[in-house]
Amino acid sequence: MTKRRLPIGIQTFREIREENCYYVDKTAYIYRLLNEDKHYFLSRPRRFGKSLFLDTLKELFEGNEPLFEGLYIHDHWDWQVRYPVLRLDFGSGNFKEVGYLQANLMEQLAAIERRAGIVSEYTTAPGRFASILEILHEKAGQRVVVLVDEYDKPILDALEVPEIARANRDFLRGLYSTIKSNDAHIKFTFLTGVSKFSKVHLFSGLNNLTDITIDPRYSAICGYTEADLDTVFAPELPGLDRNEIRDWYNGYSWLGEEKVYNPFDILLLFRKHSFEAYWFETGTPTFLVETLFKRHISSLKLDEMMGGSDLLSTFDVDEIATEALLFQTGYLTITSEENLGGKSLYRLGYPNREVRQSLNESLLRYLVKDPSGQMANSVQLYRLIEANDFEGLKTLFHAFFASIPYEWYTNNDIANFEGYYASVFYSYFAGLGLDITVEESSSHGRVDMAVHFNDNVYLFEFKVVELASEGTAMAQLKEKGYADKYRGLDQPIHLIAVEFSKNTRNITAFEVVHA
Q: Where are the domains of the chain?
A: 1-24+223-282, 36-218, 283-349, 365-514
| Residue 125 Ramachandran class (φ > 0 left, ψ -120 to 50 alpha, else beta) | alpha
- Tell me the C-alpha distance between 329 and 426, whole Å: 22
pLDDT in tens, the chain (515 residues): 799 999 999 999 999 999 999 999 999 999 999 999 999 999 999 999 999 999 999 999 999 999 999 999 999 999 999 999 999 999 999 999 999 999 999 999 999 999 999 988 888 999 999 999 999 999 999 999 999 999 999 999 998 899 999 999 999 989 988 998 999 999 999 999 998 876 556 666 666 789 999 999 999 999 999 999 999 999 999 999 999 999 999 999 998 888 999 999 999 999 999 999 999 999 867 888 888 888 888 888 888 899 888 777 777 888 788 999 999 999 999 999 998 888 889 999 999 999 999 999 998 888 777 777 788 889 999 999 999 999 999 999 888 887 776 655 555 544 456 677 788 888 999 999 999 988 755 444 577 899 999 999 999 998 888 766 667 788 888 888 888 889 999 999 999 999 888 778 788 889 999 98
- Tell me the C-alpha distance between 437 and 304, whole Å: 10
Backbone angles phi, psi at 36, to 5 degrees: -115, -40
Assign 457 to helix, strand or coil: strand
- Tell me the C-alpha distance between 475 and 484, whole Å: 15
- Tell me the C-alpha distance between 49 and 134, whole Å: 30
Same fold, 36-218 and 365-514: no
Given strand 506-514, what is the order of strands in its sheet?
435-442, 445-453, 456-465, 493-501, 506-514
pLDDT of residue 413: 46
Please report how the helices 286-294 and 353-368 are oriented relative to each other, as an axis angle in degrees rounded to 10.
70
DSSP character string of 54-73? HHHHHHHHTT-GGGGTTSGG
- Tell me the C-alpha distance between 22 and 16, whole Å: 7
- Tell me the C-alpha distance between 68 and 13, whole Å: 10
Buried b (16+ CB within 10 A) or exposed e, 270-298: beeeebebbbbeeeebeebbebbbeeebb
Q: What CA–CA distances, in Å, run from 227 to 224, 234, 329? A: 8, 10, 25
Q: Cβ neighbours of residue 182 under 8 Å, at least 6 residues apart?
A: 130, 133, 134
Assign 498 to helix, strand or coil: strand
325 within 8 A of 307, measured Cβ to Cβ: no
| Residue 141 Ramachandran class (φ > 0 left, ψ -120 to 50 alpha, else beta) | left
13 within 8 A of 55, measured Cβ to Cβ: yes
- Tell me the C-alpha distance between 409 and 196, whole Å: 34
> In CATH terms, is domain 36-218 a member of 3.40.50?
yes
Assign 497 to helix, strand or coil: strand
Q: Where are the strands (E) in 197-342, listed by range? A: 210-211, 306-308, 315-316, 319-320, 333-340
pTM for the full predicted model: 0.90
| Residue among 324, 508, 335 at smallest CA distance from 437 | 335
pLDDT of residue 17: 98
Q: What is 365-514's CATH number, 3.40.1350, 1.10.1760, 3.40.50, 3.30.70? A: 3.40.1350
475 within 8 A of 439, measured Cβ to Cβ: no
DSSP character string of 268-295? HHHHH-----TTGGGS-THHHHHHHHHT
158 within 8 A of 95, measured Cβ to Cβ: yes
Q: Cβ neighbours of residue 411 under 8 Å, at least 6 residues apart?
A: none
- Tell me the C-alpha distance between 511 and 241, whole Å: 38
